Amino acid sequence: MTAPRLLPKGRLDDLLRLLVADGFEVVGPRVEQDAITYGPIGSAAGLPVGWTDRQGPGTYRLERRGDDAYFGYAVGPHSWKKYLFPPRLTLWQARRTADGFAVQADVAPPPRRAFLGVRACELHAIAVQDRVFLDRAGRFTDPHYAAARSRLFLIGVECEHPADTCFCASMGTGPGIDPGRLPPPAEQPAETPCNRVPLPMAADAPPARPACDLVLTELDDAFVVRATSPAGQDVLDRLDLSPAGEDRQADARRRVDAAAARMAHGRHVETAGIRDLLHANQDHPRWDDVARRCLACTNCTLVCPTCFCSAVEDTADVALETAARTRRWDSCFTPDFGRVHGGNFRASVRGRYRQWLTHKFASWLDQFSTSGCVGCGRCIAWCPVGIDVTEELAAIRGGGEDNP
């Protein structure tokens, strides 16, 4: 990779036009319904220029900044997973024929997308979901996720304005972007009959793309741009930018370091020994305390960039001419999630919250060799009653049976 380059803010549209010419749909942050959301953008003018967010437990508000920063905010209710792991996805359709039913195996490939403005914690979240959906446990790959992921171009933006709910610094996932610290993809196993999910596209699902392609750090009048993949280097070369001088690079580092310093005095999670701590405290009284406050509304799992619980539904029309199988997002907080023949193995809110938090911070490590939390703080801001996972974990550590 070449040395960092300097992209004047007035030329950000040049980058977007180049990506569109390469066949990408550019998706980025924008202001919608009084929040920062993700959706298609046609130009840099569509970005939340001059906006910031104020977040706290159960609180989210947009406010005007005193400058024209393009990325002067943290994260909103949306995560990028809705494009890789859609909230609702048709797995197959069937139509009645004279001889029975014909299954439609033709699944249109997902569009090529360029994500603009992906924060460090969100890059980690995508890398975590890569471990979940690509060669899970060394045996299975989700072909729909693999196809969408392989057609992705990622443009990260280093975070300079963390919210009060952010704790990525303590999770080792931000605010700066270091591709070398992202969880590596699971190893590709030798081909065996059980390695493929029998769904359309499974036989030739392409490999995943790099964890990141370009990294931007915002200055007052420009961006310091780093290429972190061959594809990113190709785009950077075609932009024909001037090198970023040492003073500009130092300014970029200072801004990110300042963001990390602010988080050091805010929320954090002590990760040392957390797996054993949670497994050893399944009967901690804190679970009863949080259950009295938790509404089991599923907000935390919906906004979480790594949660992946889903349900599969089979439907047919009234005339029984067509049928479809659909996958949709689900949550371990719903009352029916643990319902099986003979009863519900997780009927209480206490059991469901304990399962969610323990899985996220402990058993996820057993399954995927990485934490399920990236410290984005969304679950804190979007919890209607303001439950703070950092407080819950600290309470268990403070009075737990195993307190390393």
Task: Answer yes or no: is 266 within a domain.
Answer: yes
Domain membership of residue 224 (yes or no) is: yes
> What's the pLDDT score for residue 364?
94
pLDDT of residue 207: 57
pLDDT-wise least confident of 28-37, 63-72, 240-249, 314-323:
314-323
Residue 339 forms beta bridges with which residues? 344
**pLDDT tens by residue, 369-388:** 899 999 999 999 999 999 99
pLDDT, one tens digit per residue, over 348-359 is: 999 999 999 999
Per residue in 218-227, pLDDT tens?
A: 999 999 999 9
Residue 201 predicted with pLDDT over 50: no
Let me know how long the chain is.
404
The answer to whether position 211 is within a domain reads: yes
**Where residue 139 falls among pLDDT bands split at 50, 70, 90?**
low
**Is pLDDT larger for residue 351 or for residue 342?**
351
The DSSP H or E segment spanning 35 is: strand 35-40
Contact 404, 277 (CB under 8 A): yes
- Beta-carbon contacts of 102 under 8 Å, excluding residues fewer than 6 positions away, are 94, 95
- For 374, the domain range is 5-398
Residue 114: in which H helix or E strand, if any?
strand 113-118
What's the average model confidence in pLDDT over 190-206? 43
Q: In the block, which residue shows the tokens 């997780």?
A: 346
Answer yes or no: is 403 within a domain.
Answer: no
Whether pLDDT at 194 is above 60: no
Sign of CA dihedral 9, 12, 13, 14: positive
Q: Is residue 231 a part of any domain in this protein?
A: yes
Secondary structure tally for the chain: helices H, strands E: 14, 16
pLDDT score, position 104: 82
Report pLDDT for 259: 96
Q: What is the pLDDT of residue 331?
A: 96
pLDDT > 90? residue 204: no
Which pLDDT value is given to residue 343? 85
pLDDT of 285 above 90 = yes
Band of pLDDT at residue 143, cut at 50, 70 and 90: confident
Reference 8, options 242, 178, 205, 180; nearest CA is 242
Q: DSSP 3-state assignment of 26?
A: strand
CB-CB neighbours of 263 under 10 Å: 21
- Residue 199: the pLDDT is 46
Q: Does 404 reside within a domain? A: no
Would residue 152 count as lying in a domain? yes
Comparison of pLDDT for 398 and 22, the residue scoring more: 22
Per-residue pLDDT band at 202 (split at 50, 70, 90) = very low
Which stretch of 175-184, 204-213, 298-307 has the lowest confidence by average pLDDT? 204-213
- Cα distance between the two ends of the chain: 42
pTM score of the predicted model: 0.91
Question: Using N-to-C axis directions, what is the helix angle for 12-21 and 230-239, rounded to 10°?
Answer: 120
CB of 349 within 8 A of CB of 363? no
Does 285 reside within a domain? yes
pLDDT over 80 (residue 137): no
Mean pLDDT within 5-32: 98
Read off the pLDDT of each residue in 38-63 and give the average, rounded to a whole number: 97
How does the average pLDDT of the chain come out, rounded? 90
In contact, 228 and 120? CB cutoff 8 Å: no
**DSSP letter string over 38-100?**
EEE-SSGGGS-TTEEEEEETTEEEEEE-SS--SS-S---S--THHHHS-SEEEEEEEEEETTE
Cα gap 89→328, rounded to integer Å: 6
310 phi, psi to nearest 5 deg: -145, 165
In the prediction, which pLDDT does 403 show? 44
Q: SS3 of 270, please? A: coil
Contact 97, 77 (CB under 8 A): no
**Residue 339 in this model has a pLDDT that exceeds 90:** no
Q: 126-130, 133-137, 186-190, 397-401: which has the minimum mean pLDDT?
A: 186-190
Give how many domains the chain has, as a whole number: 1
Instruction: Give the integer Cα–Cα distance in Å for 372 and 274.
Output: 12
Smallest CA-to-CA distance from 128 within 118, 136, 117, 116 is with 136
- 402 or 135, greater pLDDT: 135
Strands 214-218, 152-157: pairing is: parallel
Above 50 in pLDDT, residue 27? yes
Lowest mean pLDDT among 127-136, 232-241, 271-280, 290-299: 127-136
Mean pLDDT, rounded, for 334-357: 91
Which range of 185-199, 200-214, 375-389 scores highest in mean pLDDT? It is: 375-389
Beta strands in 228-375 (DSSP E): 242-243, 310-316, 322-329, 339-340, 343-344
CA–CA gap between residue 247 and residue 6 (Å, rounded): 11
Give Cα 372 to chain centroid, integer Å: 10
pLDDT above 90: percentage of residues in the chain: 76
Q: Coil, strand, or helix at residue 223?
A: strand
Higher pLDDT, 210 or 155: 155
Query: Binning pLDDT at 50, 70 and 90, where does residue 399 land?
Result: low
What's the pLDDT at 341? 84
**pLDDT over 90 (residue 111):** yes
The strand ranges marked E within 330-388 are: 339-340, 343-344
**Cα–Cα dist 130/135, whole Å:** 9
Average pLDDT over residues 166-174: 96
What tokens appear for 313 in the block?
A: 């539904």
**HSE-up of residue 361 (Cα within 13 Å, Cβ side):** 25
